[in-house]
Amino acid sequence: MPTVSFTQPPRASGELLTPGRWAQAGPRAPRAGPGLECLCLRKAEPWGLSRASPASAPPPNPGFSARLRLPIKESAAAGLRARPYGSNTDLALRVMVQAWYMDDAPGDPRQPHRPDPDRPVGLERLRRLGVLYWKLDADKYENDPELEKIRRERNYSWMDIITICKDKLPNYEEKIKMFYEEHLHLDDEIRYILDGSGYFDVRDKEDKWIRIFMEKGDMITLPAGIYHRFTVDEKNYTKAMRLFVGEPVWTAYNRPADHFEARGQYMKFLAQTA
């Protein structure tokens, strides 16, 4: 059986780290640099799917597809398996993603900012914003058929691993501030938390902040054009896989960025899901 390894690509990302591609290769690649770890995956089929291929590529904004199969978060008791939304009604009804409307209190963004009384947000509301969520077993991310299935279905052909902590990420405080600037991207943002935890904040249709708590095993896709931000929590440690369709473009456009086509497309999507 061929071995698929995380190897270094010929170009730099231009932002934080050097990304890598899933491709057939030999032994585990050497450590690539601060905050970046090497990954060795074993699978039977090669990666390298082309985003330009109409036969294999997902829609330009996969989160907007009406045919999209929404993953759901399952309880620990139900097992750690990604499953399409609606494939198990009983299970879907029990599932609650850890998300809530943020309070308006000033202070450290690394705190939960969870109001009292609580204003929880469920998967369906996130889905209507184009935000997709999976729960996976992060302990086996190097050889996880569920992750492989998601990657194949959604054409995630590029990945790297970033560790966000003071000891591993250069200019940590500066980067944390940058992550927390409200921004959008022209492509989906896909993150899989391998260890630690943190918060993704996304704007809802009324421009209110929804905070999504992400911990080990959580995987999320934020659609292109959505205003969002990220912060570590008070533990100051997040280790995450970053995935991408094709070669990554990490450019963030701080708000206001309404003139981009991706934003316009996203606003159309929101109007359709009203």
**Binding residue ranges:** 183, 185, 189, 228
- Give least dist CB 146 to Fe ion, A: 24
**CB-wise, 87 or 254, nearer to Fe ion?**
254
Alpha helices in the chain (DSSP H): 89-94, 123-128, 145-154, 172-179, 261-272
Tokens 């993603």 correspond to what residue?
A: 97
Q: Binding site membership for Ni(2+): which residues? A: 183, 185, 189, 228
Say how far apart CA 104 and CA 113 lie, in whole Å: 8
Residue in this structure with the two tokens 């057939």, named with its chain if needed: 24
Considering only the stretches 46-54, 84-92, 181-189, 235-243, report the one whose residues sit in contact with Fe ion under the rule CB under 5 A. 181-189
Of the listed pieces 39-47, 82-90, 150-158, 189-197, which binds Fe ion according to CB under 5 A?
189-197
Number of residues that bind Fe ion (CB under 5 A): 1
Q: Smallest distance, Å, CB 154 to Fe ion?
A: 18
Tell me how far, at minimum, the Cβ of 253 lies from Fe ion, in Å: 10
Residues making up the annotated binding site for Fe(2+) are 183, 185, 189, 228
Nearest CB to Fe ion, comparing residues 160 and 189: 189
List phi, psi (to 5°) of 5: -120, 155
Site residues (CB under 5 A) for Fe ion, limited to 93-112: none
Q: Please classify residue 113 by burial: count the beta carbons closer than 10 Å to its beta carbon, then call 0-12 exposed, 13-18 middle and 19+ buried.
A: buried
Nearer to Fe ion, 189 or 201 (CB): 189
CB of 218 to Fe ion, least distance (A): 16
Tokens of 112: 């939960």
C-beta closer to Fe ion: residue 5 or 163: 163
Residue 62 vs 83, nearer CB to Fe ion: 62
Scanning 137-145, 187-195, 198-206, 264-272 for contacts with Fe ion by CB under 5 A, the matching segment is 187-195
Shortest distance in whole angstroms from residue 222 CB to Fe ion: 7
Q: How far apart are CA 142 and CA 4, in angstroms?
A: 10
**Token pair for residue 92?**
């879907």
Residues 191-210: x/- map of binding to Fe ion (CB under 5 A)? --------------------
Which residue's beta carbon is nearest to the bound Fe ion? 189
Least distance in angstroms from the C-beta of 183 to Fe ion: 6
Spatial neighbors of 232 by CB under 8 A, at least 6 apart, are 110, 164, 165, 176, 196, 197, 198, 199, 238
Comparing CB distances to Fe ion, the nearer of 103 and 182 is 182
Judge contact between 204 and 237, C-beta under 8 A: no
Contacts of residue 137, defined as CB under 8 A and 6 or more positions apart, other chains included, come to 80, 144, 146, 217
Token pair belonging to 51:
């985003």
Cα angle 158-14-193, degrees, rounded to a multiple of 5: 45
User: Which residues here bind Fe ion, judged by CB under 5 A?
Assistant: 189
